[in-house]
Amino acid sequence: MSATATKDGGSVTITLNGTNKSLTIPLIDGTIGPSVFDIRKLYNELGVFTYDPGYGGTAACESKITYIDGDVGVLLHRGYPIEQLAEKSSFLEVSYLLLNGELPDKAQKAEFERGVMMHTMLHEQLRRFYDGFRRDAHPMAVMCGVVGAMSAFYHDSLDINDPDHRRISAFRLIAKMPTIAAWAYKYSIGQPFMYPRNDLSYAENFLYMMNAVPAEDYKVSPVLARAMDRIFILHADHEQNASTSTVRLSGSTGANPFACIAAGIASLWGPAHGGANEAVLKMLAEIGHKDNIPAFLAGVKDKNGHNRLMGFGHRVYKNYDPRAKIMQASCHEVLKELGHQDDPLLELAMELEKIALHDEYFVSRKLYPNVDFYSGIILKAMGFPTSMFTVLFAVARTVGWISQWKEMIEDPSQRIGRPRQVYTGATQRDYIALDKRA
């Protein structure tokens, strides 16, 4: 079959050759960024689909939350640049912004922070879920299990069409993720769980639950708390990435928010996505010394190899990920605070970045460091085991997931997500009895 397309101004008309079928497809403009061809009538009018494995060229929804310009390395949350938010805001204030669309005034900020901190504790029976895991279970497995199980504890907020249920679910998820994550870590090292402290800030409270023990007082370093809060801000939301799209697709069926966030956690776990920060540390350990960088990069460039330069490349950013720059600056600050300013891992990572950014293979493919390249180095210096890196990503991204989920539920045009396919399998054929098969 063939077709002819003719473009006129803000639309394109496609005609299937040899038929009287044609469709004029309008071009819709956003406030900034690429326009979109609205192809919703394409199948009904022309009986054809578009083909876009991985959805690299497909806008799956309309959104007002986050804007990325991958060519110039811009990231805006509700119009505010990530650089300004990372420097001047706090994670809970950014959470309010993502959820509500505007920065809060003083009263709104205080009320939101109180609302979140009032939900930091877990139902006592959820504690028992941890005992069902092996001590060496990957903490992301624990996160999937415990967050999914929250659906069984909050029957009072599962009606996704009730705005109050959506609001309380958002508070519960944002508030409880640090507790669930810290308890997953404590369980893995056989230490008692630390209950949340609502007199501490969000990031302080998380570091407290991660590091304190009942036997003595624990004071959270203000520099580390600030660094943790900034890392949460940098991971809060990122447009329609794989895990956010998973949450949206799950939510489009009417599944409850806890089940949807558990699906997002599962999707984030992959090394091509949120698991990359853990993979970067493993890669740096494998390289070991800067003298080994050329051989490692040769392996990455080898078509028959399977190694990738983890923490590099991005589906959208074809320039420096702005989060990576902020993360690198934060790296130096944290390592200095911890007295590790000569951390060999950071030196190796910076040498690797310098060589890669001058290597034609990476330059020609526009492969730059992404948010995961430096985050692992900071987190390791702060004492987190590598298995907790993606867990921290999930803690921060929960507000992005729930904000995107809320936007989808409140979008009057939203319907169940159901992609189609191009079928290249067998045409219809009759069943062959076992004794007749070759």
- For the annotated catalytic residues, the residue numbers are 314, 372
- The CB-nearest residue to ligand SDX is 313
The residue among 14 and 395 lying less far from ligand SDX, judged by its C-beta, is 395
To 5 degrees, how large is the angle CA 281–CA 282–CA 283?
90
Member of 273, 290, 332, 340 binding ligand SDX (CB under 6 A): 273
- Min CB(324)–ligand SDX separation in Å: 10
Candidates 36-44, 70-78, 269-277, 412-420 — which segment interacts with ligand SDX by CB under 6 A?
A: 269-277
Among 313, 345, 395, 401, binds ligand SDX (CB under 6 A): 313
Contact flag: residue 309 with ligand SDX (CB under 6 A)? yes
Contact present, 239 and 67 (Cβ < 8 Å): yes
Which residue number, 272 or 285, has a Cβ lying nearer to ligand SDX? 272
What is the closest distance, in whole angstroms, from the C-beta atom of residue 225 to ligand SDX in the complex?
22
**Contact characters 352-371, ligand SDX, x per CB under 6 A:** -------------x-x--xx
Q: Report the run of H or E that residue 81 belongs to, with start and end.
A: strand 80-81
Does residue 312 touch ligand SDX according to CB under 6 A?
Answer: yes
Kindly tell me which residue out of 123, 290, 315, 340 binds ligand SDX, with binding defined by CB under 6 A.
315
Least distance to ligand SDX from the beta carbon of 396, Å?
10
Choose one: 305-313, 342-350, 411-419, 425-433; the region binding ligand SDX (CB under 6 A): 305-313
269 phi/psi in degrees, rounded to 5: -60, -30
In this structure, are strands 36-37 and 22-28 parallel, antiparallel, or unpaired? antiparallel
Where are the extended beta strands (E) located within 3-49? 3-8, 11-16, 22-28, 36-37
SS (H, E, C) 249-261: HHHCCCCCHHHHH
The position carrying tokens 């009942």 is 214
Q: In this complex, which beta carbon is closest to ligand SDX, that of residue 208 or of residue 389?
A: 389
Diameter of the chain measured on Cα atoms: 81
Q: How far is the CB of 135 from ligand SDX (least distance, A)?
A: 29
Between 7 and 365, name the residue whose CB sits nearer to ligand SDX. Answer: 365
Burial of 243 (0-12, 13-18, 19+ CB in 10 A): buried
Q: Assess 384 for contact with ligand SDX (CB under 6 A).
A: no
**By three-state DSSP, how is residue 407 classified?**
helix
Q: Decide if 282 contacts 376 (C-beta within 8 A).
A: no
Question: Contact, 11 vs 26, CB < 8 A?
Answer: yes
Q: How big is the site for ligand SDX, counted in residues (CB under 6 A)?
A: 21
Using CB under 6 A as the binding rule, whether residue 405 contacts ligand SDX is answered as: no
Does the protein bind ligand SDX through residue 310 (CB under 6 A)?
A: yes
In degrees, to the nearest 5, what angle opens at C-alpha 416 toward C-alphas 414 and 422? 115
Neighbouring C-alpha atoms within 13 Å toward the C-beta of 71: 2
Q: Does 372 bind ligand SDX (CB under 6 A)?
A: yes
**Does 77 contact ligand SDX by CB under 6 A?**
no
By beta-carbon proximity to ligand SDX, the closer residue of 12 and 242 is 242
Report whether 183 contacts 209 (CB < 8 A): yes
Q: Name residues contacting ligand SDX, limited to 228-267 (CB under 6 A).
A: 238, 241
The CB-of-193 to ligand SDX minimum distance in angstroms stands at: 29
Q: Which residues pair with 301 in a beta bridge?
A: none
The four Cα atoms 143, 145, 149, 150 give a dihedral, to 10 degrees, of 10
Q: Give the residue with the Cβ less far from ligand SDX, 198 or 319.
A: 319
CB nearer to ligand SDX: give 145 or 369. Answer: 369
In sequence order, the 6+-apart residues with CB closer than 8 A to the CB of 403 are 65, 98, 99, 170, 237
Whether residue 357 contacts residue 311, with contact meaning beta carbons closer than 8 Å, is answered with: no
**Site of interaction with ligand SDX (CB under 6 A):** 238, 241, 272-274, 276, 300, 308-316, 365, 367, 370-372
